[in-house]
Structure 1
Amino acid sequence: MAKLRVGLLFGGRSGEHEVSIVSGRAIARALAEESNATQYETIPFYIDKEGCWHSPEVSRQVLDSGEALAVQGISAAALWQFPPETASIDVWFPILHGPNGEDGTIQGLLSLMRVPFVGSGVLGSAVGMDKLMMKTAFAEAGLAQVNYVGVTRSQIWSNPCVFPTLCDDIEAQLGDYPYFVKPANLGSSVGISKARSRAELETALDNAASYDRRIIVEAGVTAREVECAVLGNDRAQASVVGEISFNSDFYDYETKYTDGRANLAIPAELPAEVAERLREMAIRAFLAVDAAGLSRVDFFYVEATGEVLINEINTLPGFTALSMYPQLWGASGVSFPQLVDRLIRLALERHGEGLPESASSGDRATSAEENRSLK
């Protein structure tokens, strides 16, 4: 049988461009493993920092070097020039982190192409990316979380006289410091600050507003940071639970992506009841935002009280050598190559669920057979 042509989509217009290249390299290696190479032909497509798509030949050069292409401005028309090889793709594997990659935008484009793709659709991606909408979905699902306040850039920047009142309101709602101030729509801890005082809160709000027009301020909590990986579609499965520990003030971008800055304990040393509760909450969170394929769900475990608070969901987590998601599944008995294969199969399954009523019974039977093979 002919191999399925997998379009590996990486790079992108976000601050996580370099991380996406590293993730893309890891996935390309996994697809080159013998078990996958017999089934799939990998065709890479690199999106540079200006948003231009590049040919498979250039994209392979980027994967080989691990370095982003240097670009200096483009014409608007160039943004809509796709390499001709895109028309031959059977299934897309987007590994674009951050804005324009996991916020529903690229998912909308791929949906218009009417070709299966790995990961969540437009709704799940958009809700999972926007921390304020995410927390609204979590609250509706009855998932406990830390106290938070949502503010906008206009509230922060519109009138200097309003700013002290805004900070008064935040302090009244959240209580004692510290707080964590985050742009609502960025990943990998970009733009996040820890505020221990009014002066630091003002600086953190101004900084976050430079990244996004929607900002979230969360109450700090003394807790262990634990994570769980989810794999599947409507019948998702949860991995073992892992724990992150670090010496920095918080889990910032540098700590996250610098080897040796953070320690991962997989599985985490937790009471069995707590680990099972975390796994159950991870699946509830996955379903609450309508995620698909893969997600990593982050929690705070307050050991003193036994309380578990959900922090956030990442619908397109990293696939670097340091990334928690593939390591969690590795500890759960699913190797990296197997994980990549499973995600492609889940993409095909998800696409098959969207068959119109007029689809042939043979098509529906094939889709059902694929579903059974994934159980």
Structure 2
Amino acid sequence: MKQLIVGLLVLSGMWSACSAPQKTAGGVFAPVSTDGEYGSSQHSPKADSLAMTRVFIDACRARSLGDDEGAVELFREVLQIDPLNDAALFELGKIYFEYGKLDDARELLRLAAEQDPANTYYLETYGSALLYLAQYREAIEIYQQLLHIRPDDMDAAFQLAFSFERAGSIEESLSFLRQMEQQFGPDESILMEEYRLFLRNGMLQEGIDVLLRLIENNPDEPVYVSMLADVYELADQSELAEATFDKLLEIDPDNADLQFKKASYQIRSGDREAYWNTLRKVFSNNRASIDKKVFFLVPYVDSVDKKNFTDKDSILEMARLMTIAHPTEAKAWAMQGDLLYYAGQKTTARESFLKSTDIRADVYDVWVKMFYIDAEEER
């Protein structure tokens, strides 16, 4: 059997030989001229219709059974009878697309959509193919055509906005998103798309304005407030950024991620006192995630023994606060033991390791560390 990709139709020559279709009395499309390879127009329209129907059904059966190669040959037979049969064009175009014959697939899907311009499934598939091929200007026309038929199709509307953007028409994309907002209301997905577009193009203040609207519309959704803090920081609006962090912590005071994020912002802005005060709050909070606290401290295990490390006392304080907040967590005592050991405080480190084993005795690594401490003391 012939290979699927080898020997397929050469579209550029084939379709140029086909003229516009006209309807026969039986409702079957037939070409006005048949100078191409698909057969003669002298066939009986009724006979052609019956033959074409049988072959098309066989092609669909082959396709459903996974015989794409056989389906291609059968759809080609349909097109020999009716070169502009939209269903055969469409099905063959989908197969071509799946097998990487992208240019041929695009031409087939285009012809199918031209034969039945009201078929929204044809338009959707053709539009998706154009987007995949990065032919955004052509995609714009198709999605505009689709929205003319289905004006309430939000998915198609988003695809049109995306096509405008990818075609380099940022203002058109934003303008269309505003039209969508008027039509569909202040939908979160529309506003988020506006926000993404503003940020991608460096329009920070416009992005901030959109986030403020999202926060107003969704007062119980802290993610937008967190995003606002990020944009304020990006826009170098430090006072607004810190105020936004405070607002977030009012909503979710036990959110360790948020508290660490605020501390990170404070240290970058040079406010070390505020940085350590924020960390004291999170490490003292027994409702904040202990795993987040341990993750924060891990990098300092290799730093506390360095002579030029000036934050040793503060890091050890954080570890102590963690054990107070989580006295029944073995990992809290083990982490404090690690930091104390590398800081040279081996006696207190052993005490901390021992408390860890009292809580959980199956952590081999902690026992090994106590063994090393004991061995060093015996020397």
Q: Is TM more than 0.5 here?
A: no
Q: Give the TM interval when normalised to the shorter protein.
A: under 0.3
Superposition TM-score, scaled by structure 1 size: 0.22
Superposition TM-score, scaled by structure 2 size: 0.22
Please identify which structure carries the higher strand content: 1
The structure whose RCO (Cα within 8 Å, separation 6+) is larger is 1
Please identify which structure carries the higher helix content: 2
